[in-house]
Structure formats: structure tokens, C-alpha cells
Chains A and B, each alone.
Chain A
Amino acid sequence: MTTTLSPQRAGLPPAPPLTRIRRGIGERIAPYAYIAPFFLIFAVFSLIPLLFTLYVALFEWNPIGDHTFIGFDNFTRLFDDPRFWNATRNTISIWLLSTVPQLIAALFLAHLLNHARLRFALLFRMSMLVPYITSVAATAIVFAQLYDRDYGLLNWLLGLGGVEPIDFIQSTWGSRVLIAAMVTWRWFGYTALLYLASLQAIPREIYESASVDGAGGWKQFRHITIPSLRPVIVFTVVTSTIGGLQIFTEPLLLNPINAQTCGATRQCQTLTLFLYEQGFGQYQFGYAAAIGVALLVLVLVIAGINYLLSTRIRPER
């Protein structure tokens, strides 16, 4: 795919014949008309709400009462709010715990599936997608039961080995690991499949000539596989970052008793959940909008860092 687009190989395109330019205005507008539905929907459901959020963030906004302009007070309050920093810490830890192991493991699994001589290869490849098509709500409920302190399967197994039951859901790190495990379980196969698809586009000859030159498995992986996968790695890093920083359903359903705070001490409350609590639990729409803006800034900053890091994986020349 990348090779055909490479400018070094393709010659200059022939100059367009004069008649094509004169086809008329309809021809030129048509492409815009075709893409218009997406951009209209984008404007209605994304752009306008985004701008409106920025506006609401400047108000003390009771949805069924008064709207008072207070400037940047919501933001100064936010920076002094320990609950906000707690949610930020939780969000970043859960994101790191779920993204980094997931992407690395998916890469190795894809490499294996591509090279190993497997019987029923198709079955293995297809089964990786099963978690992805399972509903998030079902996943969260089942995981919460597996990790339960008193009646969970995991603690029962640990108990057989004489280990004291661990209260995953109530502890800070336990709940973070639990949520990261859910996310990883759900997305791991999908990511691996994306990697596998691009791996299959790499010509075998490159590997063969590499092994003729004496490169072992690790060297091949390091110098052929990873550089060839660069575009898809960047893609998965960016999408999993955006998704990972907005984790909502898993913490909401993990602890039904304190759903909006994910527990008595907000031990696994993420930023989106904090936003939901303030906006729809306590009806402070202005404050919730300010949280939304802060989250947007955080996503932009981390996506930027990601992009800079990912572009360092360059094909060796």
C-alpha cells in the first residue's frame, strides 16, 4: 500500500487534458456534496457541542435553574479540587496499565500467528475477535464477579493456595489493575488482528533475504517487522490513547453501590466518570463542562507526545 504511493517510484502524472477542467461547476461541487452528510453530522453532534461546552464552562449552570456567568472560576476551582487530581491520576494509571502491555503483547502474538505453522490458523485468528464483540457491560459485570472479595473465582483459587483474599475492587491499585485487565482483554485481539493484517502485507522475500544475511528471529522482528508496521502502530497508539483516557463504562459498572465515584474513596473514578458525577449526579453543568475541557487538553497533550514518540520508529534505510 505504501509502496504504490511512494513518490520516488511513480513517474509524474500526465498533464490533465483541458476539457476536464471545463466540465462545469456541478462536477466540482459534487464531491463536497458526497462528503457533506458526514460533516453535517459532525457539526451537529461534535463541533457544536464542543463549542457549547466551552461556553457552558464559563457559567455556574443549573440545568433547571439559573445560569450565572462566572468567568474562569470553574477552572480555578478545578485546579484546587483534590477529586480532579485523583481522577487524573486514576485515568493516566489505568491508561498506561491497559495500553502498554496490550500493544506489546498484541505485537508479539501477531508475529507468532504470522510465522508459526499452525493448524486451524483461521480459527485462532477469528477467536481473537470474540472479546471485542462482547458487550462492555457484560464484561464489566462478569469481571467484577470474578474479582469479588468474598465470592469471586479468583480469590477462591488464591485461597486454595493459602493466600488471604484480596479486595481488588476496594483498593486503589487492585481496582486500577482490574479495569486495565478488562480493557486489555477486550481490545487485545482486535489490535493483534490489525497488526497481523499489515504483517501479511510484508513480502516474504525480505525475511528470506534477511535470514540469508544471517539475521536471527529477534533481529528480523526489530529491523523488519516493527518498521513495516509503523503506520498501524501509530494508528493503534493514537486510538487506544483516546479510548483509554475516556474509560467510562468499566468503572461505572464495577462498583454498583458507588457507581458514580467507583467506590467509597473514589479509588477508581476516572475523569469521564467524575464529569458524569458532577454533571448528571449533582447537576453542576458548568463545572462538568470545565472537567470536559480539561480532559480535552489532556488528550491533546498526550496524543501529541505519542505522535512524537511514534514517529521515531522509522524504517531504516
Chain B
Amino acid sequence: MKFRFAAPVALAVALTLAAAGCSGGPTTAAGDDKSFEFWSFTGIDQKAAVQEYRKEHPDVRVKLTEVGSSTETAQALTTALAGGKVPDLVLIQGDDLPKFVQQPQNFHDLREFGADKVKGDYLDWVMSQSTTEDGQIIGVPTDVGGMAVAYRKDLFAEAGLPTDREAVSKLWPDWDAFIETGKKYTKATGKPFVDNAPTSVFYQAVNQVSEKYYDNDDHSPIYAKNPQVKEAFDTTLKAIEAGITAKQSSFSNGWSAGMARGKYAVVAAPSWMLNSIRTTAPGTKGKWDIATIPGGNGNWGGSYLAIPRNAKNPKAAWNYIKATQSPKGQLQHFLDSGSLPTTPSVYEDARLTSMKDEFFSGAPTGQIYTKSLLGLEPFYIGPDSAIIGQEFLNALTDVEQGKGDPAKAWDTAVKNIKTAIGQ
């Protein structure tokens, strides 16, 4: 009957192994400044940046983990902060950032390492999002969105529209003109013009405001009475009613399939979207071009690097931030992977302005996107901004999919937001 004893023993061994597995294998020695653990998310290619850094600092060991999507990474970080076992460096997406800035005791105030001396290198409204009200700096911005519109030249030609990017940009000085252009396209071809309205119209227009869901001064929620938000919402409803959208939610299966088959001609494209188009529809190379966003400028997206309070090697992590996020480092990263620098001093650099993207017919992406960032008025982003935006988006999607009543959509959205955030 030996196996009867063997079972509990085997179990105990298995449990010990499982516990060891949870601790993430061999850990680096504490406080040696020569190694650090770095959590990033997928699709942003931090691997390239790390390799670049290792070339210049071969003695530093970087343990890079791509946790998952940006949301999953923020979730994992929350769990890690609650549990106490944290990475030394973490990349946080802009939408997830407010929740962490609200709890600054979980992070190093980067002024300890001299962040206040370099903060002037970055766009001030980007920096303000990672700065607490009493001036603690929680994160250093790695990239921003910037806005533009990607369009299919071949499909525009079929519809008898201009195809040159200057001429196309002139077609839509504002969103109403954008909708009118869409109507012309749909009338000429019988096909939808834009992928969907909630993302390609609402999420763009609502990020072009001077004040968004919260009051800029007293930080109280004003989403229900801000005329700028209402206007973006109504413009989106108008786009839906015009019948120019393909009703494909961004990143859904139908969206990907439709993009590859040319079922729609236009996608709103913040700078990080270009890579999605490239990987979703590789067969459309050279058929796209990029025009300016209706309304001229705006920003959507961007990420930050932060150092958790209980990090073992905060100094090594900071050295990495300092080297890779300097204006020179961000310029290099733009040239390598296309993510847009947050450091305005390089916006005039010849290497940035001469950058052309062959997938998009040689469009000067550096020039187009940096231009969309200049002259932006910063708005306050509150702890529940992401939820508020999602509920507005959901109400609009419901109308676009043909079930929601457009006349009631605004009230539904406001009611749902009240339920979700309690105010």
C-alpha cells in the first residue's frame, strides 16, 4: 500500500512547485542597478526599444514581459500592487492612467530621480496627465496618438473623388463636410464610406474639445451638460443616419475582413492605428493614403512608463527611462516603429519630417501627425473618463447596429453613466 503514502507526498511536491511557479522563476538580485523587470503590453513593440538599449548598455539585464493587451496589463499591475510583488518598470496606457495617478502612494515620485528637470522636454498637457495635484510625477510619457484619416485612394477614384492627400484633406474641414463627402461616396458606389461612426467619428470628435467629461477647474463631472460632448454625440448620430457607415465595430472580425476586402474606404487613424491597418490588411499595401482629421487637430491615446513603489531596482528602471525617453530616444523609436514622440523639440527634426510610409503611398506621417498635436488645448481627464467614454460609445453602437432609438440614445447613455459611476 505504498502508493497511499505516495499520493499526499506527490501532492505536496506539486504544490511546492506550483508556489515556485507563481514567483516567476529566478529573480534578480535586489538593488544591483544592473537588471530590472519590465512589464509592457503587446502591439507597441517595446522589444525593439529594449534591444536598442541593450546595445548601448550590454551589462544591464532587462526581463521584458508582454503581459497582454493594455487593459490586461493594467489589471495585472493592479493585482501586483495589491499583492506587493511588482515589476521595476511598467507601461501604462493613457486611459488606464487616472486610476493609478489617483493612488500615487503605489509609485515612486519620479522627481526623486530628477524627473522635474526633464519634464520641460515633453508636451505639457501630456505631462499634466501623469502629474498629481500636489505635483508628484508618476509617469513619463512614451508616445501620443495624434489624429488623421486613412483612406483608400483606389476606392476614392472609383467614386469620382479626388485622391491626392492635399485635395482630400480639403474635402473635410469639419465633421459635417466629412459626412457630406461620405454621402457622395455612398451615392456613387452604393457602398459604405466609413468603417463605423462611434469610433471613427465620436471618439475622434470628442477628443478635439477644450473640455471633456470633467470640469477643467474644479474636476467635477460635467459629461451630461457639456455642449461640446453633446455636439460630438449628435454629429455621430447624423453620420449614422446618413447611412454611410459599414457598421463594423473597430477590431471586430467583420471590421478586419471588411478592411481587407475594401468594403469601406475610410478609417479614422490615430498614429497607433497605422500598424493595425498594416497587419490587418497586408494585401492593401500602397492603396492607402493619409489625410488630415476633420477639425484640424486632436489626440487620442498614448502611454506612460512608471516605477512601482516596491520595485527592487528603481534606479536601473529610471536609467532606462532616461535613456530611451529622451527627445533623441523617442525620435529613434519613431524612426524604428512609428510611435509618435511626446517631445516637441524633435518635431522639426529633418529625420522626422522626411519620414515617409510606403504602405500609405509614401505619406509623410511625421509631418501629418505632429501637426495634429500643435495648438491643442489640454482637458482634464478624470478617474472615470474611460467608463464615461465607453457608455457613450455603447449607446451610439446600439443605434448604429439598428436597435437603439436615436432620439433616446443620449438619455440612455447619461442614465447608464450615472448607474456606473454613481454621479
Contact = CB atoms under 8 A, between A and B. Distances in A.
Nearest to B82: A63
B419 A83 contact: yes
B394 A261 contact: yes
Q: Which secondary structure dominates where chain B touches chain A?
A: helix
Interface residues of A, number: 31
Interface stretch (B207-215, B247-255, B292-300, B356-364): B247-255
A114 interface: no
Contacts of B103: 62, 64-65
B11 A37 contact: yes
Contact of A256 (B99, B251, B387, B419): B251
B419 A151 contact: no
A151 B257 contact: yes
Interface stretch (B118-126, B330-338, B397-405): B397-405
Contacts of A120: none
A280 interface: yes
Given A34-B8, A167-B401, A170-B401, A64 B81 contact: yes
A144 interface: yes
A53 B258 CA distance: 45
B240 to A, nearest CB: 13
B106 A34 contact: no
B394 A81 contact: no
A63 B81 contact: yes
A64 B11 contact: no
A22 to B, nearest CB: 22
B408 interface: no
A81 B395 CA distance: 18
A257 B420 CA distance: 19
B251 A265 contact: no
Contacts of B81: 63-64
A257 B401 contact: no
B261 to A, nearest CB: 9
A82 B419 contact: yes
Nearest to B393: A264
A37 B15 CA distance: 11
A198 interface: no
B78 interface: yes
The 8 tightest CB contacts between A and B, nearest first, are A264-B397, A63-B82, A264-B394, A65-B103, A64-B81, A257-B249, A150-B254, A170-B401
Interface of A: 33-34, 36-37, 41, 62-65, 81-83, 144-145, 148-151, 167, 170-171, 256-258, 261, 264-265, 280-283
18 contacts: A37-B11, A62-B103, A63-B79, A64-B103, A64-B106, A83-B419, A148-B253, A151-B257, A170-B401, A170-B403, A257-B252, A258-B394, A264-B397, A264-B401, A265-B394, A265-B403, A280-B78, A282-B420
Given A144-B253, A151-B253, A265-B403, 7 more contacts: A63-B81, A64-B100, A81-B419, A171-B403, A257-B252, A264-B398, A283-B78
